[in-house]
Amino acid sequence: MKNLVALLILIPAFSLAQKPKLVIGIVVDQMRYDYLTRYWDRYEEDGFKKLIREGYNCKNTHYNYMPTYTGPGHASIFTGTTPENHGIISNHWYDKVNNVGTYCTGDSTFNTLGSDSDHGKMSPNKMLSTTITDELKLATNSKGKTYGISIKDRGAILPAGHNADAAYWFEGGETGKWISSSFYMENLPNWLTQLNDKNPSKKYLEQSWETLYPINTYTNSIEDNNPYEVLFNTETTSSFPHNLPALVDSNNHYSLIKATPFGNSILKELALALIKNEALGKDDHTDFLSISFSSPDYIGHQFGPMSVEIEDTYLRLDKDIAEIINYLEKNIGEENVLLFLTADHGAVNVPQYLIDNNLPGGYFNMHVLDSNLHEFVKKEFKVDSLIKNVSNYQVFLNHKLIKQNNLNIETVENSIATYLLNQKGIAKSVTSTSLKSTEFNERILANAQRGFNQIRSGDVLFVLESGWIPSTNPKGTTHGSPYHYDTHVPLIWHGTGVKKGESNQEFVIPDIAATLAQLLNIQTPSACSGKPIVDLIK
């Protein structure tokens, strides 16, 4: 008996918490954190409010790298690390080895399922780390099912991981159907083919986009008729209502739905159909479904964060999320579902709106920079074509030519970095040599460093001033910076294993996968740099 007691003392106290039968990961494309607070009084009780009221709200969650784009955002959420490790350095980037542009999920070795186009020639193979969904597959010996769905291919593929059962995304144009890649299977499942046969987006494009409530109640937004919004093709005003039937032909047919809140609605319908037809959450092996709502990004780019269109989009998305929650509770059980909601990045206010309100902002012409930079380097080093590419706030150099002309790479890098700092609108520049040899603590440069992949990134990186975007169009907006408007996003947890509460402590996006690993009692992804948010775990 004494030996048994002694043995028990040596064994640490450990208990396996109840595992969820289904994990739902909701990513809202381009959701700033302040969309929760700004529209709070207008949300209903069963959507965002229910998640926050009954779950755990991490109020100060940030992306800790740049560029804050869709591809890197989704990869970082699910790998638990940053582009320096998972390799998804942008949506598109310059492949300096093969001297071509590349797309984060593009893969010509596979074929499209559900269409005759090339839009399904995709895979997750450019992502260099495992995901939390990959680890779930390993932990359950592939008995747990994993799926990713989104309007965007990258929003479906990257979260689903390398060993998913499927990823589905929407093809617009004249197709208007959900498609996939032969990376996952040989044919679309029958239930999805039947859903496609019903033409999921048609009914929404046969109606006008009216505001959900009387337009005079949209007091959290600027005037509907304002000069900061991009018009749909053939539309004469950006004001409500948007006559969708009249706009279909001139806006790439079914692609029009992407830039309306009804893109969220058809994705919600796909999610519910998938959960039902694939019997998710119906056995003892945890399943995982990632749902990435892309339409807020299309709408945000076009109309800006202060628009009535964005406010209406989130009021409608609140209802779509409430419908998903209600379905899960009725069909799987609240106690069996773990749900988290976050975003892949935020967005800056339309710079012209900032300028007109005496706030920092501006427009940076990347084409002019590209031309001027080539001229400067040619004059400085008496060699033409030393620069191979300028993209994604990076300058890629021709190393072979630098060596042939007996130039010092660090000298060339430093010269370019100094030149960049003298350009109006550029706040910081840093060389790859510095990024490889120095660990930066200052927030902006540290974010740039965590977005720098030694194999794929360029030789000089630069950061624009706050409020500046790489555009010459004074309408619409974008994202990609290391500033708070792009990095601060929601992170809400709800369901199995989650305490009720909130925290103002700063968390970073890689913490999501680390926390999921703890809640699921599985291994963290292979390159995970995040830490578990222990305070939310029961």
CB 78 within 8 A of CB 158: yes
C-alpha to C-alpha distance for 354 and 352, rounded to whole angstroms: 5
Q: How many whole angstroms from its chain centre is CA 10?
A: 45
DSSP string, 22-58: EEEEEEETT--THHHHHTGGGS-TTTHHHHHHHSEEE
Give the chain's radius of gyration (CA, Å). 24
The answer for 73, left when phi > 0, alpha when psi is -120 to 50, beta otherwise, is: alpha
Tell me which residue of 538, 492, 475, 504 sits closest to 228, measured CA to CA. 475
Residues 6+ apart with CB under 8 A from 295: 29, 151, 257, 258, 259, 260, 261, 262, 263, 264, 267, 313
Q: Is 237 in the active site?
A: no
Residues 6+ apart with CB under 8 A from 375: none
Tell me which residue of 172, 313, 180 sits closest to 253, measured CA to CA. 172
Q: H or E stretch including 462?
A: strand 460-464
Q: Which amino acid is at 373?
A: L
Residues 6+ apart with CB under 8 A from 261: 209, 295, 299, 312, 313, 316, 317
Catalytic, out of 37, 61, 68, 70: 70
Question: Which residues are annotated as catalytic?
Answer: 70
